[in-house]
Amino acid sequence: MTMLADAGPDEPAASWRIDRLGVVIALLLVVALALPFATFRATRIASGTGLLLHEALPAPAAAAAAAALVAALAGAVTLRRPALRLAAGVLALVALALGVGAAAAFLTPADNPYARIAPGSGFWVGVFAAAMLVTDAMVRLRLGPAGRLIALAMTAALIAALLASGAWSRLSLLAEYRSRADVFWREANTHVILAAGSLAAAVAVGLPLGILAHRVRRLRDPMINVLNVIQTIPSMALFGILIAPLGWIAANVPGAHALGIRGIGMAPAFLALFLYSLLPMVANTIVGLNGVSRAVVDAARGMGLTGLQRLFQVEMPLALPVILTGIRIVLVQNIGLATVAALIGGGGFGVFLFQGLGQTATDLILLGALPPVALAFAAAVVLDAVIEISGRGKP
């Protein structure tokens, strides 16, 4: 509840209201406090024992973390000012981040190098609730693109500082990373190449196709229908469909194998991601060009601009925000889909995810799942900011 100080002259001087989203966040934080904060495993694949907050931390640290979560809980329900809500959410996130690192250091036996300490379900629910509170506060603050980019940079810097400080060094996730550091960065590079490379190819092909479909209307429906059919094929099925033709090309076309074209590996994964990317690129190009005012195009024609000049100097700049939206959709989609490429030898973060599933190693699964989520989130924030900047001042 909160007291409103801006009541009108005919209204009571003070009134009390409850923030509805805050109630949901508060309930999640209550659940987080009731669930295990950390999980102890005797080995990396052993079944774990869940430990509540007061069991996973020394008493003073547990009390401080609980106090921070309770403060965030109360703030979510009672605080109306966005800056105060943001402070409450950040406080909860910092308490959770420092607390889980301290729990790993506190619970790790000195004489057992095989023991693993992982964040428990209570930690993850708490992070989700605190992130909701931070996101809600940032929406209420109405941050511009520069503000959102600064917030993203600060978040990345804080995570990097925590990693560099060693505060999380005893966590089992970091133990999995240390044993695979070289492989991790190699697969990270592969993942980025698959996602960004297929996006670049889709932009190079999809933009001209979209312009062509916009100009030649009889091509529009057949082209969109074909791309829709491709989009409905499940990713694993499309990977499988591409294995046979690419394998034939590798075996029969001179030089194809040397270029990396094979039935399995990066080639079918790259081609599948490229094919999935075409529909958003073509469709958004068409929609963006359709959205350009005919009066603006006619004015450009009246000024003596040629067709190509109108396209590149008038129509494309005005359609750019919508086209960038298509690029955003494609990049976020490809970052996620590239994870599945590991099943056909394409590499990427999916290598760790599927290894973890095969070994029933939860932390190895997280090592493969968390980086793509972080990459997709960062890409979405950056491109959203670029889209907003590109759309300013456009009619």
Give me the domain span that covers residue 90: 2-175
Tell me how far apart the alpha carbons of residues 62 and 68 are, in angstroms, rounded to a whole number: 10
Query: Do 340 and 202 share a domain, yes or no?
Result: yes
Give the model's pLDDT for residue 204. 95
If one counts every other C-beta atom within 10 angstroms of the C-beta of residue 206, the result is: 26
Query: Do 286 and 373 share a domain, yes or no?
Result: yes
Tell me how far apart the alpha carbons of residues 129 and 34 are, in angstroms, rounded to a whole number: 14
Query: Do 253 and 328 share a domain, yes or no?
Result: yes
Query: Do 57 and 158 share a domain, yes or no?
Result: yes
- Confidence check: pLDDT of 394 > 60: no
Bridging pattern class, strands 116-119 and 49-51: unpaired
Query: Do 217 and 366 share a domain, yes or no?
Result: yes
> In the chain, where do the E strands start and end?
2-3, 16-17, 38-41, 49-51, 116-119
Q: pLDDT band at 127, cuts 50/70/90?
A: very high
Query: Do 169 and 194 share a domain, yes or no?
Result: no
Domain count, the chain: 2
Q: pLDDT band at 248, cuts 50/70/90?
A: confident
Bridging pattern class, strands 38-41 and 116-119: antiparallel
Residue that finishes a domain, picked among 126, 152, 175: 175
Give the model's pLDDT for residue 265. 77
Say which DSSP state 342 is in. G
Q: pLDDT band at 249, cuts 50/70/90?
A: confident
Tell which phi-psi region holds residue 47, choosing left (phi > 0), alpha (psi between -120 and 50) or beta. beta
Tokens of 30: 């209550």
Pick from 227, 315, 222, 341: nearest CA to 276:
227
Query: Do 296 and 214 share a domain, yes or no?
Result: yes
Q: Which residue has the higher pLDDT, 305 or 83?
A: 83
Question: What's this model's pTM, rounded to 2 decimal places?
Answer: 0.85
| Cα-trace Rg, the chain | 26
78 touches 88 (CB < 8 A):
no
- Confidence check: pLDDT of 10 > 70: no
